[in-house]
């Protein structure tokens, strides 16, 4: 047999697989390739990549391979596996790369795509290459625009002026989810706040449902928790504080024109209505103060000045700074005890949450405590248990200093407090969510134009579906402007159009949509790439979705994974599909570390797989990556480890060749005079069954590193036998059955798909190993045949004997065997046995008289 030449073998099989379409299931009839029985549809999906021309590094390859191993395993287990691939070519990331290399994004996208697909092919994943999806192509983004139109028609898309996150480097707005610790998710710049008119999706309408479904998802726990926290449900109460009449008169009618009676009050959202008696002041956000000023509140000049400054500060969103604030000059009445509370304006109260106003309870809230200390405001304890001299007490306890509520326990009694407030007409139960609506507009070029048209008469109108896609025009000047406007805004021929409703002159929306919209529905499109008349086909989507296994990075916990869930839910409500959760199972893979840091372009520690593939082959790299640590944890990349894996694969190849080159008759003497008798065969069977069991369990649980370790153990075991009974020692030494070797090759197939395919063919098989059946094991061969039984005399252990399970059933037999032990015999010393106690398969104790 030939030397192992991975380059040759891998090329041969990659071409043949693609030609034979063994990884392209028939999505309608779901027949397995090669006319085998029908399998169950299994949608095995890896998060598609967003490419740049530098291409894929081994960290990316790690994730893709791990997903593929699972798909290959499920295919051999008899499922019809659909494992598609594509790429998210639109977006800021790709556009920034185009800027960097000085190319037009459209031109660059093609180059990136080619390189990416070349790399992806070279690692030998079982992708259905007949159904790729590229988000930047009109045949795809036509449907992204269609989706936008559906959401608009359903009242789930709206345009409004809002204070939004703006990245000063990427020169565009960002959604809340794309601001991580105050910085741009893409480039790391500190995000600013700008007031701009933008398109939003009403993901907040779905907050509760997004939350309710979480327990049923078979997802990594930490991702579920991250989503729960991001959605951030808070239960509490809305409480109304009446603004003090007398103060209004005092202060040259500060609120006279503020609001029409009787609504001149301040509403606050609180999660701790049980602390109402402890409220000692009220705080409103600078934004709320400004809106009051705008409707005629005649506040002092200092107040006006503070408000302006605080708002300006807000827009430059630096890291956490000292709390600032100012007394507004007005007072409000605490509805539970009619106490007069000063109303302050301060920047620690946010405009976008709750009502933008709070009741401050410094004794029991850290932020309020700090503020009270700084401005010398009163602190009043209403929950016992803490020491409020030094810090706020936020824990549980008994309500004190609170009239009727005294003695109630908190937090258990919060509901009683809310009932009380409702009865008194002071406030009511309220649930708030931290989740904000999804900001969709991007003032960039490289994305799908938002398919909306503005007409003076008819206002915003969606482009009619027959006119989709709204093509992204080819323009010279496509770079971001930083004016808060998209580069398309100045392209007259693009902007000027007709109103789809009245036919009058109208203007197109110039912004494009967020790339996260492109990726929020691609998993639906994969199954329908051949369908031109609609985004997807209900029947086919029903057959293949939800995705059975979704693998990707945990960093998308609240971005892509949340957006996809929302879009799927909305499509379900619009009756386009009949399920509301897109990913039945989500598994977060680990990261590859190099020199102590996560592998990434920005860290400059990237390892490109290409050179390793050409040197050792994709199979060696795949096996090595899967072996380096638990798939959920990742691991440290080392060249030496890869070389070791390469040697292992060569050994497997050699073993298989040896087995093939000689036909071993069973049960004859080897040159060394050793015979593989029935006992040896039993041992081999046991090792084989054990290996099958362990590898099956481990791969099924994505424990790839231990699966490979078991394959190695099994290899060592059988190779010992093959070596011992090697024909080198004589012609008569051909004793082993090829089944042990076949099993080895089968178990290794998901990890080293090319090499095993070649060996499989050489072992005389006509169909691909990857559509062959995964080996099954015989549980009974795994059972222990013997047990160890301790023999004791008067409680003192004298020996441990090996007894067959059969014999261990019978106390009489065990007694006899025990007495045969020399040490036992010596200690019994002919004395009379008064009693014998046998604990089955464990201990036999003889009681003798001294
Ligand atoms: C009084 C109080 C007393 C509060 C106490 C807490 C402890 P979550 O859990 O995040 O919903 N709050 C409400 N709106 C706010 C805003 N716009 N900006 C800043 N803070 C705001 O938190 C709700 C709590 O955060 C509310 O409950 C309110 O302070 C504050 F011992 O009201 B609490
Ligand atoms: Zn019109």
| CB of residue 68 inside a 6 A radius of ligand 1 | no
| Calpha distance 541→11 (Å, rounded) | 33
Query: Which pLDDT belongs to residue 124?
Result: 95
| CB of residue 798 inside a 6 A radius of ligand 1 | no
| CB of residue 354 inside a 6 A radius of ligand 1 | yes
Q: Which two tokens stand for residue 571?
A: 């499509």
For the segment 587-608, the average pLDDT, to the nearest whole number, is: 80
Least confident of 86-90, 155-159, 297-301, 811-815: 297-301
Q: Is the pLDDT of residue 226 over 50?
A: yes
Q: What is the pLDDT of residues 253-273, one digit of tens each?
A: 444 444 434 446 899 999 999
**From the CA of 464, how far away is ligand 2's center (Å)?**
13
**Where does the pLDDT of residue 92 fall: very low under 50, low under 70, confident under 90, or very high at 90 and above?**
confident
Among 68, 96, 47, which residue's Cα sits nearest to residue 601? 96
Neighbours of 404 (CB within 10 A): 11
Best residue for ligand 1 mutational test, from 229, 238, 240, 272 (most atoms within 8 Å of Cβ): 272
**From the CA of 461, how far away is ligand 2's center (Å)?**
8
Best residue for ligand 1 mutational test, from 357, 358, 367 (most atoms within 8 Å of Cβ): 358
**From the CA of 367, how far away is ligand 1's center (Å)?**
9
Q: What is the pLDDT of residues 488-501, one digit of tens each?
A: 998 999 999 999 99
Answer whether 526's CB lies under 8 Å from 520's CB.
no
Average pLDDT for the chain: 88
| Calpha distance 535→577 (Å, rounded) | 11
Q: Is the pLDDT of residue 732 over 60?
A: no
Query: Which pLDDT belongs to residue 675?
Result: 47
| CB of residue 744 inside a 6 A radius of ligand 1 | no
Q: What is the pLDDT of residues 521-568, one digit of tens each?
A: 999 999 999 998 999 998 899 999 999 999 998 888 888 999 999 999
Q: Is the pLDDT of residue 481 over 80?
A: no
Answer whether 355's CB lies under 8 Å from 269's CB.
yes
Q: Which two tokens stand for residue 656?
A: 């298989």
| Calpha distance 470→486 (Å, rounded) | 15
Query: Which pLDDT belongs to residue 726?
Result: 54
Q: Is the pLDDT of residue 421 over 90?
A: yes
Strands 459-462 and 452-455 come out as: antiparallel
Q: Is the pLDDT of residue 673 over 70?
A: no
Helix axes 639-661, 753-762, angle to 10 degrees: 10
Count the alpha carbons within 13 Å of 74 in the hemisphere toward its beta carbon. 24
**From the CA of 336, how far away is ligand 1's center (Å)?**
18
Q: What is the pLDDT of residues 441-474, one digit of tens each?
A: 998 899 999 999 999 999 999 999 999 999 999 9
Q: Which two tokens stand for residue 137?
A: 């192509």
Q: Is the pLDDT of residue 730 over 50?
A: no
**From the CA of 394, how far away is ligand 1's center (Å)?**
12
* Closest Cα to atom 8 of ligand 1: 234
Please write down the long-range contacts of 608-614, taking CB distance under 8 Å and 24 or more positions apart.
608/55, 608/56, 608/57, 608/58, 609/56, 609/57, 609/58, 609/61, 609/119, 609/122, 609/123, 610/55, 610/119, 610/122, 612/58, 612/642, 613/122, 613/123, 614/7
Query: Higher model confidence: residue 758 or residue 736?
Result: 758
Best residue for ligand 1 mutational test, from 238, 269, 346, 395 (most atoms within 8 Å of Cβ): 269
Q: What is the pLDDT of residues 388-410, one digit of tens each?
A: 899 999 999 999 999 999 999 99
Q: What is the pLDDT of residues 713-726, one digit of tens each?
A: 999 998 887 766 65
| Calpha distance 226→490 (Å, rounded) | 41
For the chain, how many residues are written? 850
For the segment 756-784, the average pLDDT, to the nearest whole number, is: 89
Q: Is the pLDDT of residue 669 over 80?
A: no
For the segment 355-364, the average pLDDT, to the nearest whole number, is: 96
Answer whether 486's CB lies under 8 Å from 170's CB.
no
Q: What is the pLDDT of residues 179-205, one digit of tens each?
A: 888 888 878 888 888 888 899 999 999
Question: Locate tokens 């009756």: which residue?
Answer: 575
If residue 225 lies in a helix (H) or strand (E), which one and from where to where? Answer: helix 221-231
Q: What is the pLDDT of residues 272-286, one digit of tens each?
A: 999 999 999 999 999
Instruction: Give the torsion through C-alpha atoms of 663, 664, 665, 669, to 10 deg.
Output: 140
**Where does the pLDDT of residue 632 fall: very low under 50, low under 70, confident under 90, or very high at 90 and above?**
very high
Query: Which pLDDT belongs to residue 639?
Result: 85
Q: Is the pLDDT of residue 780 over 50?
A: yes
For the segment 292-302, the average pLDDT, to the nearest whole number, is: 86
């Amino acid at each position: 047999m030939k030397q192992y030449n991975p380059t040759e073998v891998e090329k041969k099989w990659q071409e043949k697989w693609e030609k034979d379409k063994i990884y392209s299931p028939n999505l309608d009839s779901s027949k397995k390739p090669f006319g085998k029985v029908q399998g169950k549809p299994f949608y095995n999906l890896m998060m598609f990549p967003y490419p740049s021309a530098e291409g894929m590094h081994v960290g990316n390859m790690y994730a893709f391979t791990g997903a593929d191993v699972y798909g290959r395993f499920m295919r051999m287990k008899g499922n019809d596996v659909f494992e598609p691939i594509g790429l998210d070519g639109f977006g800021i990331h790709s556009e920034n790369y185009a800027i960097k290399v000085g190319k037009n994004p459209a031109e660059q996208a093609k180059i990136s795509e080619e390189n990416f697909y070349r790399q992806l092919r070279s690692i030998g994943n079982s992708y259905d290459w007949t159904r790729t999806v590229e988000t930047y192509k009109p045949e795809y983004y036509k449907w992204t625009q269609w989706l936008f139109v559906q959401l608009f028609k359903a009242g789930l898309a709206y345009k409004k002026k809002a204070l939004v996150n703006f990245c000063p480097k990427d020169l565009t707005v960002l959604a809340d989810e794309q601001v991580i610790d105050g910085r741009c998710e893409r480039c790391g710049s500190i995000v600013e706040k700008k007031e701009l008119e933008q398109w939003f999706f009403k993901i907040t309408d779905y907050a509760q449902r997004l939350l309710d479904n979480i327990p049923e998802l078979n997802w990594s726990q930490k991702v579920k928790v991250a989503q729960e926290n991001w959605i951030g449900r808070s239960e509490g109460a809305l409480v109304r504080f009446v603004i003090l009449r007398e103060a209004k008169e005092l202060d040259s009618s500060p609120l006279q024109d503020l609001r029409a009676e009787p609504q001149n009050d301040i509403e606050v959202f609180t999660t701790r209505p049980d602390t109402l008696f402890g409220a000692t002041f009220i705080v409103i956000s600078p934004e709320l103060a400004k809106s009051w000023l705008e409707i005629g509140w005649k506040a002092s000049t200092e107040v006006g000045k503070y408000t302006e400054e605080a708002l300006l500060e807000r827009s430059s969103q630096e890291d956490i700074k000292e709390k600032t604030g100012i007394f507004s000059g007005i007072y409000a009445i605490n509805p539970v005890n009619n106490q007069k509370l000063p109303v302050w304006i301060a920047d620690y109260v946010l405009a976008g949450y709750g009502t933008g106003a709070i009741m401050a309870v410094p004794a029991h809230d850290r932020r309020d405590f700090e503020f009270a200390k700084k401005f010398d405001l009163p602190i009043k304890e209403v929950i016992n248990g803490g020491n409020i001299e030094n810090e706020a007490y936020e824990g549980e306890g008994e309500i004190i200093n609170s009239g009727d509520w005294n003695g109630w326990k908190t937090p258990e009694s919060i509901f009683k407090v809310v009932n009380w407030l409702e009865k008194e007409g002071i406030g009511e139960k309220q649930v708030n969510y931290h989740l904000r609506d999804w900001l969709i507009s991007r003032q960039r070029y490289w994305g799908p134009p938002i398919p909306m048209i503005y007409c003076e008469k008819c206002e915003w109108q969606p482009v009619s579906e027959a006119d989709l896609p709204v093509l992204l025009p080819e323009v010279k000047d496509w770079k971001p402007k930083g004016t808060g406007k998209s580069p398309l805004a100045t392209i007259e021929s693009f902007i000027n159009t007709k109103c789809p409703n009245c036919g009058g002159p109208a203007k197109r929306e110039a912004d494009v949509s967020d790339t996260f919209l492109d990726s929020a529905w691609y998993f639906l499109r994969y199954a329908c790439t051949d369908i031109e008349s609609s985004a997807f086909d209900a029947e086919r989507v029903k057959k293949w979705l939800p995705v059975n296994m979704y693998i990707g990075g945990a960093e998308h916990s609240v971005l892509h994974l949340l957006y996809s869930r929302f879009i799927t839910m909305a499509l379900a409500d619009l009756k386009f599909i009949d399920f509301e959760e897109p990913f039945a199972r989500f598994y977060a893979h680990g990261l590859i570390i190099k020199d102590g840091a996560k592998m990434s372009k920005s860290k400059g520690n990237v390892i490109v797989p290409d050179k390793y593939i050409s040197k050792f082959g994709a199979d060696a790299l795949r096996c090595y990556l899967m072996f380096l640590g638990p798939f959920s944890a990742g691991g440290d990349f080392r060249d030496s480890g890869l070389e070791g894996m390469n040697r292992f694969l060569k050994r497997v190849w050699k073993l298989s060749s040896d087995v093939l080159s000689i036909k071993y008759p069973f049960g004859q003497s080897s040159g060394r005079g050793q015979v593989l008798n029935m006992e040896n065969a039993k041992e081999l069977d046991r090792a084989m069954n054990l290996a099958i069991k362990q590898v099956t369990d481990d791969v099924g649980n994505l424990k790839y590193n231990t699966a490979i370790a078991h394959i190695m153990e099994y290899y060592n075991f059988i190779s010992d036998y093959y070596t011992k009974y090697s024909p080198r020692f004589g012609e008569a030494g051909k004793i082993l059955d090829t089944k042990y070797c076949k099993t080895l090759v089968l178990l290794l197939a998901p990890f080293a798909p090319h090499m095993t395919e070649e060996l499989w063919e050489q072992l005389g098989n006509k169909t691909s190993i990857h559509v062959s059946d995964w080996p099954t094991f015989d549980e009974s061969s795994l059972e222990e045949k013997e047990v160890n039984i301790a023999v004791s005399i008067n409680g003192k252990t004298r020996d441990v004997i090996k007894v067959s399970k059969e014999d261990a059933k019978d106390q009489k037999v065990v007694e006899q065997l025990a007495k045969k032990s020399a040490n036992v015999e010596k200690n019994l010393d002919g004395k009379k046995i008064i009693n014998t106690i046998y604990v089955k398969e464990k201990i036999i104790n003889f009681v003798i008289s001294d």
